[in-house]
Amino acid sequence: MKALSVRGVVALAVLALTLAARPVPAGAADATALHEGKHEGAEYLIGMPPAWNGGLVMFAHGYEGEGPGRGAVRGSPLASHLTALGYAWAASGYRSRGYRPDWFLADTLALRARVIKEFGPPRWTIIHGQSMGGHVAIASLELHPEVYQGGLIEDGYGGPSRR
C-alpha cells in the first residue's frame, strides 16, 4: 500500500482533532438534508449540511453476515459532528450481503460519483471504514489515491491474525 502523503495525514489529523474538540451545537444537525434512495443496486444515505464547505466523508460499514439480498445502509456514526461543521457524508448499503470488499469499494465509488453529480465536486474526500468497511477503506486508499485524500480505519481487516 502506498503511504499517505503528508498533506493527507495532516488533513486527516486536523479533521479528527476538530471533531473531537468541538461539541455539536444544539439544533445544528436539524437543518441537514438527508437524501436517501437506491443507486446501482445499493441503498444509500447522503447527509448534506445547509452550508457545505466542500469536505466529503464516505462511510463504509462493517460485515453483516452471509445471505441473500442487499446490505443494509447505515449512516455515518460521525454524521451529526460532520454536518455541524459543514462536512457532507455519504454511506452505501452495498448491493449484496457477505464479504465482498471489491464490490463494496465499487459501490462506494459509485455513490461518490452520485454526490458529485447532484451537489458538485468535493474539495477533498476522506473514507471512513469500520470493521469490514476498514478493508474497503484500505483497498480504496491503495487502489484510488487520486480519489481519497485520507482515511479513518476502525478495526480494519488487513489480513490474517493470530491471537
The predicted model gives 53-61 an average pLDDT of 94
Encode 106-145: b = buried (16+ Cβ within 10 Å), e = exposed: bbbbbbbebbeeebeebebbbbbbbbbbbbbbbbbbeeee
From 3.30.70.20, 3.40.50.1820, 3.40.50.300, 3.10.290.10, which CATH number describes the 7-154 domain? Answer: 3.40.50.1820
Exposure of 86 by Cβ count < 10 A (0-12 exposed, 13-18 middle, 19+ buried)?
middle
Indicate if the alpha-carbon torsion angle 119, 81, 14, 133 is positive or negative.
negative
Residue given cell 445547509 in the structure block: 50
The answer to whether residue 127 scores a pLDDT higher than 50 is yes
Question: Using 50, 70 and 90 to split pLDDT, how confident is the model at 22?
Answer: very low
Residue 25 — very low, low, confident or very high, per pLDDT cuts 50/70/90?
very low
Using pLDDT thresholds of 50, 70 and 90, give the confidence band for residue 29: very low
- Domains of the chain, residue spans: 7-154
Average pLDDT, the chain: 79
What is the arithmetic mean of pLDDT over 18-26?
A: 46
CA 26 to chain centre: 24
Mean pLDDT of 97-118: 90
Sole residue written with cell 466523508 = 57
Higher pLDDT, 136 or 2: 136
The answer on pLDDT for 10 being more than 60 is no
Side chain identity, residue 118: E
